[in-house]
């Protein structure tokens, strides 16, 4: 994410290397480079200029602290200003309605339907809500079907009226239904067009007037840069939305939309979407995003993702098995699945400070696990539960079944054994002294 911008900023800070303190002269090049980096990241020139003027004023006014180098000081100032530009603090969505009605708007292809599913999943699993999804895109039966499939996947009810050509009526019917069925959030996925068009705007505005939503979230594809910002302006003029959702941040986006949308429409970014998986949704924290841009990683989000997947009962069960040295391939597979649920692997690694830059050119896809999973899947349930029985002929069969080489299976078995040995050693260390008294 924003790799080019990160690199350019880093090289801008390097200009200050060896300087004892910041002054008008030595800061000039750095400031100019920061401004260029922002403009190249698709930040509008006026905003970039205003940004660097602020950074410069702050840097020159800053007290000199001997333990902090001018370079470090600039990183801190730029981080604070980036966070400020993106909205300062996070903004929760308002869930106080009865039911809470959330209208989702944006261009076609921006990621509205995907986000609607993700939001329902988020509210259901993290906020203990009972959402109802509503397909109000009456022009594309495929969009309705897509929402139905997502809803099924995340086990959330969905309201669809294939024959009804009145989006306002569908939304109203859905709200009545939600009240009947005890759904406390109604998420309405509306139609989009490839470009802003009057009929679409009127329709969304009519739905808004009819259902009085507590949140109108404008979904925008962050890959579209300045266009995203202009579209946001047009939608905001018409809808006066309550928040922005940036999608496709997992892609190769330059950063312009994330950096300037708040400034331009004065509405907070509430969520960021980073992938097609239903779990790949994060609340937007300007401070954390600024840290990531500056290569400081984002440990907080990483820990939160891990916590979200953490299942106490399962962890206890696993601990017991490890203690009894009974960790098997079923446990292994379960662990892999948990990691995968946390999100895209490269994205996860990039949250560790310093790692993002190191792995930016390496192709790490989620497919990395596929081979391992294929091998485990080719084992019989008996083999999975009893790894010791997997002899040469069984290995050959597993290799064949998974489309792998016997050497791959051997290497994997060896790694698994080593892992088990490590677990055994850790058990002994924890059990400290319980073994044989008097032996020391």
Instruction: Indicate left, alpha or beta for 148 from its phi (over 0: left) and psi (-120 to 50: alpha).
Output: alpha
Nearest distance in Å: CB 11, ligand GDP = 28
Binding segment for ligand GDP (CB under 6 A), chosen from 198-206, 247-255, 359-367, 388-396, is 247-255
Q: Is 282 in the site for ligand GDP (CB under 6 A)?
A: no
CA dihedral 36, 11, 347, 368 (to 10 degrees): 120
Nearest distance in Å: CB 365, ligand GDP = 13
Q: Is 402 in the site for ligand GDP (CB under 6 A)?
A: no
Work out which of 131, 192, 243, 387 binds ligand GDP, going by CB under 6 A: 192
Q: Is 224 in the site for ligand GDP (CB under 6 A)?
A: no
Tell me if the bond preceding 99 is cis, omega within 30° of 0. yes
Nearest distance in Å: CB 189, ligand GDP = 7
Q: Is 276 in the site for ligand GDP (CB under 6 A)?
A: yes
On whether the CB atoms of residues 52 and 24 are closer than 8 A, the answer is no
Nearest distance in Å: CB 226, ligand GDP = 19
The answer to whether 193 is a known ligand-binding residue is: yes
Work out which of 251, 354, 403, 431 binds ligand GDP, going by CB under 6 A: 251
Cβ proximity to ligand GDP, 175 vs 245, nearer residue: 245
Cβ proximity to ligand GDP, 33 vs 189, nearer residue: 189
Rounded to an integer, what distance in angstroms lies between the CA atom of residue 320 and that of residue 398? 28
Rounded to an integer, what distance in angstroms lies between the CA atom of residue 309 and that of residue 348? 14
Nearest distance in Å: CB 106, ligand GDP = 6
The answer to whether 248 is a known ligand-binding residue is: yes
Distances (CA, A) of 256 to 102, 168, 227: 26, 34, 10
Q: Is 231 in the site for ligand GDP (CB under 6 A)?
A: no
Enumerate residues 303-332 that contact ligand GDP by CB under 6 A. none
Q: Is 253 in the site for ligand GDP (CB under 6 A)?
A: no
Nearest distance in Å: CB 150, ligand GDP = 9
Q: What is the DSSP string of 400-425?
A: HHHT--HHHHHHHHHHHHHHHHHHHH
The b/e string for 42-55 (b: 16+ C-beta within 10 A; e otherwise) is bbbeebbeebbebb
Which residues have a Cβ under 8 Å from the Cβ of 356 and sit 6 or more positions away?
1, 3, 6, 292, 295, 297, 349, 350
Q: Is 274 in the site for ligand GDP (CB under 6 A)?
A: yes
Nearest distance in Å: CB 329, ligand GDP = 31
Cβ proximity to ligand GDP, 251 vs 431, nearer residue: 251
DSSP 3-state assignment of 186?
Answer: strand
On whether the CB atoms of residues 263 and 47 are closer than 8 A, the answer is yes
The answer to whether 100 is a known ligand-binding residue is: no
Nearest distance in Å: CB 280, ligand GDP = 6
Q: Is 275 in the site for ligand GDP (CB under 6 A)?
A: yes
DSSP 3-state assignment of 220?
Answer: strand
What number of residues does the chain have? Answer: 440
Work out which of 6, 121, 236, 247 binds ligand GDP, going by CB under 6 A: 247
Beta sheet of 131-136, edge-to-edge order: 158-159, 131-136, 185-190, 100-106, 215-221, 243-247, 269-273, 281-283
R_g of the chain, CA atoms, integer Å: 26
Enumerate residues 96-135 that contact ligand GDP by CB under 6 A. 106, 108-114
Q: Is 343 in the site for ligand GDP (CB under 6 A)?
A: no
Residues forming the site for ligand GDP (CB under 6 A): 106, 108-114, 143, 146, 192, 247-248, 250-251, 273-276
Residue ranges for the known binding site for GTP are: 106-113, 189-193, 247-250
């Amino acid at each position: 994410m924003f790799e080019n911008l990160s690199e350019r900023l880093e090289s801008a800070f390097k200009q200050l290397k060896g300087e004892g303190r910041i002054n008008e002269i030595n800061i000039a090049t750095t400031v100019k480079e920061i401004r260029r980096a922002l403009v190249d990241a698709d930040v509008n020139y006026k905003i970039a200029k205003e940004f660097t003027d602020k950074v410069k004023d702050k840097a020159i006014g800053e007290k000199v602290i001997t333990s902090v180098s001018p370079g470090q000081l600039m990183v801190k100032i730029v981080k604070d200003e980036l966070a400020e530009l993106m909205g300062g603090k996070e903004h929760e969505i308002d869930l106080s309605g009865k039911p809470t009605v959330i209208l989702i708007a944006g261009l076609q292809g921006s990621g509205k339907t995907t986000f609607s599913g993700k939001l329902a999943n988020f509210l259901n699993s993290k906020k203990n809500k009972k959402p109802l999804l509503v397909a109000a895109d009456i022009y594309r039966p495929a969009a309705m079907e897509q929402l139905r499939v997502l809803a099924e996947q995340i086990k959330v009810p969905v309201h669809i009226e294939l024959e009804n050509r009145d989006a306002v009526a569908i939304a109203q019917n859905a709200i009545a239904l939600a009240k009947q069925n005890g759904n406390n959030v109604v998420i309405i996925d509306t139609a989009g067009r490839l470009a802003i068009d009057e009929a679409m705007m009127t329709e969304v505005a009519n739905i808004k007037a009819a259902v009085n939503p507590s949140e109108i979230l404008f979904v925008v594809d962050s890959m579209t840069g300045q266009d995203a910002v202009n579209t946001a302006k047009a939608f905001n003029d018409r809808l006066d939305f309550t928040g922005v959702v940036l999608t496709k941040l997992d892609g190769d986006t330059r950063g312009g939309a994330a950096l300037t949308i708040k400034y331009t429409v004065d509405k907070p970014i509430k969520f960021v979407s980073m992938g097609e998986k239903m779990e790949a949704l994060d609340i937007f924290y300007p401070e954390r995003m600024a840290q990531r841009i500056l290569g400081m990683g984002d440990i907080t989000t990483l820990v939160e993702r891990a916590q979200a997947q953490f299942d106490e009962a399962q962890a206890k069960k696993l601990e017991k098995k490890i203690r009894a040295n009974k960790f098997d391939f079923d446990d292994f597979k379960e662990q892999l699945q948990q990691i995968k649920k946390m999100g895209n692997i490269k994205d996860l690694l990039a949250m560790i400070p310093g790692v993002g830059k190191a792995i930016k050119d390496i192709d790490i896809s989620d497919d990395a696990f596929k081979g391992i999973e294929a091998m485990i899947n080719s084992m019989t349930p008996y083999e999975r539960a009893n790894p010791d029985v997997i002899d040469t002929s069984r290995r050959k069969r597993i290799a064949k079944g998974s489309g792998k080489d016997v050497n791959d299976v051997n290497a994997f078995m060896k790694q698994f054994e080593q892992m088990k040995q490590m677990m055994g050693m850790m058990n002994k260390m924890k059990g400290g002294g319980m073994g044989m008294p008097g032996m020391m």
